Chains A and B, each alone.
Chain A
């Protein structure tokens, strides 16, 4: 079955720097991959979706890449701010029903 690995449980960076989060999957390449943001005690919020035929997608300070050869997606936040501090989850469809499965997330802390 498909598995998702977000290798870093936590990432600490300085304000203004670019944060780069990694998401790897183990089996077949999904048709698309999604990224969510989750604040403590809250439900995840959808950020971006990238399809397998898209190499890169941008939304304001966010950029997502999708490399089906490496079976990896990278999530970048440029000019990071303390308000970007949160846990970021990647997700993809898996199984015969295509339901979303999630990685454990990477907790990003942006220090002023």
Chain B
């Protein structure tokens, strides 16, 4: 069966510090991968998606970047965090785009102070 792992689960970072969130999927090949952010009082916002190794598309301009160094690994990064980067970050995967359901990780709670 397929599983998705996301870490760390929680982190508190000072403004201006770097960020790295990692997500891995097991039990499937060539998944579509996504990073969403859920801020307090707001819905899930799609940040990045990837259809293959090294292929990253950004949905919104922001202080973050994403990379996919391996087929089932997706990394969310920032060189310098802003207060507005605080939120609940969710990695997800799907088998197909446009028609398939998303399978989400457990999320990473980021607090920037």
Which A residues are closer than 8 A to B by beta carbons? 4, 31-32, 34, 36, 41-46, 49, 89, 91, 93, 97-105
Main secondary structure of the interface of A (DSSP, over half): strand
Binds A, one of B14-22, B63-71, B74-82, B92-100: B92-100
Q: How far is the CA of A99 from the CA of B43 in the complex (A)?
A: 15
Q: Is the CB of A89 within 8 A of B57?
A: no
Q: With A43-B106, A44-B104 given, is the CB distance from A99 to B42 under 8 Å? A: no
Q: Is the CB of A99 within 8 A of B46?
A: yes
Mark out the residues of chain B between 35 and 56 whose CB falls within 8 Å of any chain A CB in the assembled complex. 36, 41-44, 46, 49
Nearest chain B CB to A85's CB is how many angstroms away?
19
| Chain A residues with CB below 8 A from B99, complex form | 31-32, 93
Q: With A43-B92, A89-B43 given, is the CB distance from A97 to B97 under 8 Å? A: yes
Q: Is the CB of B57 within 8 A of A97?
A: yes
A-B contacts besides A36-B102, A44-B90, A100-B46, 11 pairs, CB < 8 Å: A4-B43, A34-B101, A41-B107, A43-B105, A49-B101, A93-B98, A98-B98, A102-B43, A103-B43, A104-B41, A105-B43
| Chain B residues with CB below 8 A from A91, complex form | 44, 102
Q: Is the CB of B49 within 8 A of A99?
A: yes
Q: Is the CB of A98 within 8 A of B97?
A: yes
Nearest chain B CB to A75's CB is how many angstroms away?
15
Q: Is the CB of A46 within 8 A of B98?
A: no
| Chain A residues with CB below 8 A from B106, complex form | 42-43
